[in-house]
């Protein structure tokens, strides 16, 4: 009995880290003013929420109680200084960096769990899919950092030429 809980301990840890990643993306989407970045952060927040749900579902199916201390979402843990800073400073690259750091930290945990191969194959399959999605989002985030259009590459600005009279 104890062995089963120890086997799923890191998965429970990953669940709480996934909730934290969702919170970071959610807060970033609330703070940023650029529409494309706001969409990106919202999309990634929804992805992280889905990851958390799938991990907790796998834990329940295995008969392990999911760790739900991180279920609280969004701005609940912000104090007035963080709110003021978010409202006065518009630094989308800093928010992007914070989200990337959270994802990179989570990727290390994903790698660690996947290398151990102690969990059932279905769970490992789900975690591999999550890992791929996170890597794709890191690539999209890199495009935002360099100034490229990450979400819709076909969206080019229309330029009108004026005719001389």
155 is a domain residue: no
**Which CATH number goes with the domain that contains 98?**
1.20.1260.10
20 is a domain residue: yes
112 is a domain residue: yes
SS3 at position 113? helix
131 is a domain residue: yes
28 is a domain residue: yes
pTM above threshold 0.95: no
Q: Give the tokens for residue 15.
A: 């669940």
Looking at 68-158, list the stretches that DSSP marks H as alpha helix, in order from N- to C-terminal side. 80-88, 92-116, 121-146
151 is a domain residue: no
The closest alpha carbon to 151, from 159, 161, 141, belongs to 141
75 is a domain residue: yes
The one-digit pLDDT tens for each residue of the chain (165 residues) are 456 667 888 898 999 999 999 999 998 888 888 888 899 999 999 999 999 999 999 989 888 888 776 555 444 454 544 555 555 555 788 888 999 999 999 999 999 999 988 889 999 999 999 999 999 999 988 887 765 554 455 555 555 555 665
Domain membership of residue 64 as a residue range: 5-144
18 is a domain residue: yes
- Structurally, the chain folds into a number of domains equal to 1
């Amino acid at each position: 009995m104890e062995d089963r809980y120890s086997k799923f301990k890191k998965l429970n840890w990953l669940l709480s880290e996934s909730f934290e990643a969702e919170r970071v993306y959610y807060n970033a989407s609330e703070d940023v003013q650029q529409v494309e970045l706001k969409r990106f952060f919202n999309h990634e927040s929804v992805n992280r929420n889905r990851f958390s749900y799938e991990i907790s579902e796998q834990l329940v199916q295995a008969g392990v109680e999911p760790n739900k201390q991180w279920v609280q979402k969004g701005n609940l843990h912000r104090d007035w200084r963080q709110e003021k800073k978010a409202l006065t400073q518009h630094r989308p690259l800093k928010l992007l960096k914070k989200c990337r750091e959270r994802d990179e930290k989570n990727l290390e945990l994903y790698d660690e769990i996947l290398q151990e191969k102690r969990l059932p194959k279905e769970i490992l399959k789900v975690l591999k899919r999550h890992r791929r999605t996170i890597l794709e989002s890191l690539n999209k985030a890199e495009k935002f950092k360099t100034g490229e259009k990450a979400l819709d590459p076909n969206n080019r600005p229309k330029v009108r030429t004026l005719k001389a009279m």
